Structure 1
Amino acid sequence: MSSKFYAKAYDILAPMATFLHPIAVEGLENVPKDEPVVLCPNHSSNWDPILLICALGREVNLRIMGKNQLFKIPILRSFLRKMGVFPVDRGHSDIGAVKNSIQTLKDGAMLMVFPEGTRVRGKKNTVRPKGGIAMIAIRSGAKLLPVYIGVKKRLFAKVPIIFGKPFAPEYTGRKGTAEEYQANADEVMRRAYALGGAPCR
């Protein structure tokens, strides 16, 4: 979400966040500026989306899929919407969130989604990602971009954020199959954890 509100919030919050958790960014050149892409990071902490926003900078056209529980708090709901976050019901097939995601990418914005759907504390992918992320990429014509965010977040210690190379999901037919969606989701998270040197199943 490239807006005055986003830029102002970034200017206030980013210095505070990176003071507490400095970031060491690698591979930012892999993030395309002229084509839609789905950022697919691992997820170990509530700090992850904040630090990833800090790594991307303030001049990005970004939207973020966030769990719907966050939107039950009125003040937080208003802030999140202004920051380009939209809700998803993780326990069900949320058609509205899927359509929102596809339209976001077709409009040329960048989409941030945590494919595992929950926080994973360890350094390897023990939770299978949701295949829907690949379906969104396929139906919008976007690429998947793996991102690794360091799982250890000690105060004032650097957190690595590593952007991998984007890749087009592989599929057959016009829209692909559920099995192909899952295979692509597995692959993007395998690549994400590999960026951090973590063993992958």
Structure 2
Amino acid sequence: MTAELTGHQELPRTDDLPSLPYRLGGVLRHVVRPYFRLRYDLTIHHEDRFPRTGPVLVAPNHLGLLDGPLLGATAPRMLHQLGKIEAFGGLQGKILHLAGQIPVDRSTYDVLAIRKAIKVLRDGQVMSIYPEGTRGRGDFRKVRVGVAYLAMVTGAPILPVALLGTRLPGGDVERFPPWGSRVDVVYGTPFTVDRVPFPRRHTDVRAVADQIGDVLRAHVQAAVAATGHPLPGKPEKKDPDE
């Protein structure tokens, strides 16, 4: 029995799940990337910190509508991203599914979405999850337990990402910033937390989430200081799905 198969049979098991598609996602990345570089004054900082092999748990802050498409198009590797289930309807939903993205029902404990995310990491791929859970100030003042749980189950390194300029100060979370806007993507230093076998108590996961939050907050503060690009503050319109 291979080590990979053994990993998939640990709780929660993922050996019964098919691998997520990625080819369309790879094509879309290459098509959309030049568009974003043309539309925005885009600077990528410390891209060399992005691990080129093995599982990676990408942890960006969440400011606005641009975050997911921008990071998916410009990251050095193909990203599988968790997205709210409301975005997976109609033609857009079919494209997102074929591009290897994972819908998550935020109104409940979505076991299938979590298992799919774990499988991505166990397969040595890149999983992106917003630790804040929804669009807002982007300062990581509140970090949900999902990122901690995935890290504790898989042992995947966590890569902090500070997105700056994806929403203008006081801007609407449902709108893209205007043409020519300055946008900075700042990668942090990957770090790990201890891998914990089943069972994992909620109190322990919450404690690890708080520790991760400390690292993420420090990273976004350092990114703001280094770039001189401030966070936009409170959004004009609250995310209707919060």
Structure 1 residue 38: Cα displacement: 0.6
Moved more, 167-176 or 129-138: 167-176
Q: Distance in 1 between matches of 2:100 and 2:71?
A: 14
**192 and 88 in structure 1: CA distance in 2 versus 1, 3 angstrom threshold:** farther
Unaligned runs of 5+ in 2: 1-19, 169-176, 231-242
SS class of match (1:19): helix
Give the Å deviation of 1:172.
6.9
Structure 1 CA distance for aligned equivalents of residues 100 and 129 of structure 2? 12
Q: Percent identity?
A: 24
- The structure 2 residue matched to 1:165, chosen from 167, 189, 194, is 189
Aligned 8 A contact 2:117 2:127 in 1: yes
Structure whose alpha-carbon radius of gyration is higher? 2
Query: Of the two structures, which has the highest relative contact order with CA contacts closer than 8 Å and spacing of 6 or more?
Result: 1
Letter of the 1:70 counterpart: A
Does 1:92 find its partner at 2:108? yes
Q: Select between 167-176 and 76-85 the one with higher mean Cα deviation.
A: 167-176
Deviation at 1:156, TM superposition (A): 0.8
Q: Find the counterpart in structure 1 of residue 210 from structure 2.
A: 183
* Residue 139 (structure 2) aligned to one of 115, 118, 124: 124
**2:79 alignment partner in structure 1:** 62
Instruction: Tell me what 1:111 maps to.
Output: 127
2:151 is matched with which residue: 137, 143, 146?
Answer: 137
Offset, 1:15: 2.0
Q: What residue in structure 2 maps to residue 27 of structure 1?
A: 46
TM-score, scaled relative to structure 1: 0.85
Cα distance change of structure 1 residues 20 and 88 upon mapping to structure 2, 3 Å threshold: same
Whether the 8 Å CA contact 2:143–2:210 is kept in 1: the answer is no
2:193 maps to a residue whose letter is: P
Amino acid at match of 2:127: L
Shift of 1:154: 4.2
Give the CA deviation at 1:11: 3.0
Tell me if the contact between 2:155 and 2:195 (Cα under 8 Å) persists in the aligned partners: no
Q: Provide the secondary structure at the position in 2 that maps to 1:64.
A: strand
Call closer, same or farther: CA 1:137–1:178 in 2, change over 3 Å: closer
SS of 1:142 mapped into structure 2: coil
Matched residue count: 195
Long gaps (5+) in structure 1: none
State the secondary structure of the residue aligned to 1:197.
helix
Match of 1:155 in 2: 179
SS at match of 1:124: coil
Q: Secondary structure at the match of 2:224?
A: coil
Alignment-mate amino acid for residue 34 of structure 2:
P
- The structural deviation recorded for 1:3 is 4.3
State the shift of 1:55 in Å: 2.3
Q: CA RMSD in A?
A: 2.5
1:70 Cα deviation from its structure 2 partner:
0.6
